[in-house]
Amino acid sequence: MSYVLIIGAKSDIAKEVARVYAKNGYNLYLAARKSEELEDLQQDIEVRSGVEVKLKEFDITSYETHEKFYSELEEKPLGVVVVSGYMVEQKLAQKDWNESLQTINVNYTGAVSILNIIANDFETERRGFIVGVSSVAGDRGRKANYIYGSAKAAFTAYLGGLRNRLHESGVQVLTVKPGFVNTKMTEHLDLPEKLTAEPEDVANDIYKAQQSGRNILYTKSIWMLVMLIIKHIPEFMFKKMSI
């Protein structure tokens, strides 16, 4: 069975994405910094699913290593799922340029760097799928998280352009826009239960959407309606709101 490359494989969502693809017979490359920390997950998936799981050291912000990383994969993947993310409090990001830069680089610049390389390969081979995990935060800038949101907005726009470019080559590009997800990255937040998804639910939604050829996925699905409303609030009203 073909390989799926998961980038940012130490995140809670990525681990569940790995499990669901493995359960459906795909071999895996799990790419992350300090990838040895994924050894328990590697062994568990191999035992449960009977697929091959390879750990790959990868830093999404070390752009100069990306070409070599991809060229040295033993077998080129059929698909790639980019789940890398970084989020800090907005007030910290707006005061500390290094935090702003890290937010932009992990959520956007690094993803573009590796996906440019992969997209060129997939386009030449005329096959494959690309899944990029963006966020509903990119649908409209809000004072609560506009630095993180702006990076995700850029990633959403990039994925849209990539989908347009690669369509004629038969390469699928899926943009995933989660809302609130119960992960380590959001554990400090008081999240509304009805709007908050579990990582395994997001992973299952991603797999089903990718397999069915979807272009854009909101998960939970209610976020499509929520963001439609938020995007259509007039600016003279929106700038006075705290949402």
Q: Can you give the pLDDT at residue 183?
A: 85
Q: Can you give the pLDDT at residue 186?
A: 75
What CATH number labels 3-238? Answer: 3.40.50.720
Q: Can you give the pLDDT at residue 238?
A: 97
Read off the pLDDT of residues 128-181 as tens digits, 9 standing for 90 and up.
Answer: 999 999 999 999 999 999 999 999 999 999 999 999 999 999 999 999 999 999
Q: Can you give the pLDDT at residue 72?
A: 98
Read off the pLDDT of residues 180-193 as tens digits, 9 standing for 90 and up.
Answer: 999 877 767 678 88
Average pLDDT across the chain, whole number: 96
Read off the pLDDT of residues 27-36 as tens digits, 9 standing for 90 and up.
Answer: 999 999 999 9
Going by pLDDT thresholds of 50, 70 and 90, the confidence category of residue 75 is very high
Q: What distance in Å separates the CA atoms of residue 103 and residue 85, rounded to the nearest whole number?
A: 8
pTM equals 0.95
Q: Can you give the pLDDT at residue 42?
A: 98
**Nearest CA among 218, 217, 7, 4 for reference residue 111:** 7
